[in-house]
Amino acid sequence: MKPLITHILFLTIAAFSLSTFAQKNTFKGYKIEGDTVVFTFDIRDYQKFTQEHTGQVLEFKDFDIENVVVAGEFNLWSRNHWKMAKVDQYVYQLKKSILDFSDNFAYEFKFIINNSYWAEPSKQIPNIAKAKQHNVKLKGIYNLKMYTAYPDDNGNVHFKLDGYKNAKRVILAGSFNKWHENLFKMKSTPTGWELTLQMKPDVYQYRFIVDGHWIEDPHNPNKTPNEYGEFNSVIDIKAYTAFKLRGYTNAKKVILSGSFNNWNTYLYKMRKTDYGWKYVVPLSGGKHHYKFIVDGQWITDPNNSVKEYDGSGNVNSVCMVK
C-alpha cells in the first residue's frame, strides 16, 4: 500500500499559530507541493547563459531554447535524465516525487539549455551558491540551491517570537537548516517576530538568534538539553496518513496496529468503506511498521510490497512518511 500523505502540521505546542502572514517567497527554481517537488524554469528570471565547455556567454535575446533539463547533486548532474516540459511561452516545469531525494537539507542544481548551456541565476536570488569545480569556487558562476525547508507564505509551520521589539535582527536556526545562522531571517511585527516555513514531517530542534544571542523558544515547553548546557526547543510535524485495506468486506472488525501506537490491539479501529477498510492517523516523518488485525487475525498489508523483519522473527508492512 502506498499511503496517501498530506503535509499537515500537528504541533505539540499550543503557542504556535497556524495563520499565515504576507511573506514573499523569493526562492527561485523550485517549490514543494505536498510530496512533490516542482522545478520551474522561467525564462524571465535569467539574462545570461554560459556554454559548459568553452565558457562562452550568450544573452537571452540571442538564444533560441529547444529543451531544458534539471541537473544537480540529486541526479549526479545528469544532462539528459530530468527533462522539463514546456508549460507556456516562458515557463518549463518538471515534477518529481519527494521520495526521489535523500534526507539532505540542501542540494545545488542548475538548468541546462539545449544540452550544453547553463542558465545563470541573478545574484539577487537568495537561494544561490558559488559554483565549485574540484572544491575551487568558479568566478562569476552560481548554482541554485534547493532546500527541504524554506520560507513560504502558504507554509505549514508558523514560528513566532513575542517581544524583542528593539532587536535589529532575529534568525530562526534549527536541525531543519543545519543550524544556519543567516538563512531564515524572521519578519518584524507589532508584537515581535514571525516566520512561516514549508517543512517535511519530522521531529526538529530549533532556537532563535536575537542580535547574535541564541535563545530557546520561551513559549514552547517541549525542549531538550544541548551540548552547551542550555536547551533546544522541539517541534514535531506530522502528516495525515491514510491506511487502506482492500477487501475483507465480510469482516466484523479490523484494527490498525503498528510501531506508531506501540502495537495497540484495540485503539485504531478502522472504518468500513465501499472498497474495504480505512483509518487515517497523523504520523511523524520516518519509517513505521504496521499490520492489520482482521477479526483477531494478524496480517500484513496485501497491497504493500514493502516489508521488513522486526528482529523478533515477525514480518511487518512498512510505511515511509517524508
Domain around 264: 241-321
Question: Do 233 and 304 have their domain in common?
Answer: no
On whether both 130 and 170 belong to a single domain, the answer is no
The phi and psi torsions of 108 (rounded to 5 degrees) equal -95, 145
Rounded CA separation 251/276 (Å) = 9
**CATH number, residue 166:** 2.60.40.10
Q: Evaluate whether residue 76 is within a structural domain.
A: yes
Same domain, 159 and 138: no
Chain-centre distance for alpha carbon 132: 25
Evaluate if pTM is beyond 0.95.
no
Three-state DSSP at 317 gives strand
Run of H or E including 26? none
Position 133 scores a pLDDT of 65
Residue 303 forms part of a structural domain: yes
Residue 7: its pLDDT value, please?
Answer: 29
Which cell numbers in the block locate residue 242?
491514510
Domain termination residue (choose one: 113, 147, 181): 147
Are residue 140 and residue 230 in the same domain, yes or no?
Answer: no
Cβ contacts of residue 204 below 8 Å, gap of 6+?
Answer: 174, 175, 176, 234, 235, 236, 237
Q: Residues 51, 121: contact at Cβ < 8 Å?
A: no
Q: What is the model's pLDDT at position 263? A: 96
Same domain, yes or no: 140 and 158: no
Structural domain includes residue 2: no
Residue 80 lies in a domain: yes
| Cα pseudo-dihedral 286, 292, 297, 300, rounded to 10 | -60
Please give the single-letter amino acid code of residue 39: F
- pLDDT for 58 equals 77
On whether residue 1 sits in a domain, the answer given is no
Considering the domain architecture, whether residues 290 and 186 belong to the same structural domain is answered as no
> Which pLDDT band, with edges at 50, 70 and 90, does 103 fall under?
low
**Looking at residues 294-303, what average pLDDT do you find?**
96
Total domains in the fold of the chain = 3
Rounded to whole angstroms, the Cα distance separating 75 from 71 reads 7
SS3 60: helix
- Is the domain of 186 the same as that of 168? yes
Using CA atoms in the order 179, 141, 33, 113, what is the torsion angle rounded to 10 degrees? -160
**Domain end (from 98, 123, 147):** 147
Residue 130 within a domain: yes
pLDDT higher at 51 or 17:
51
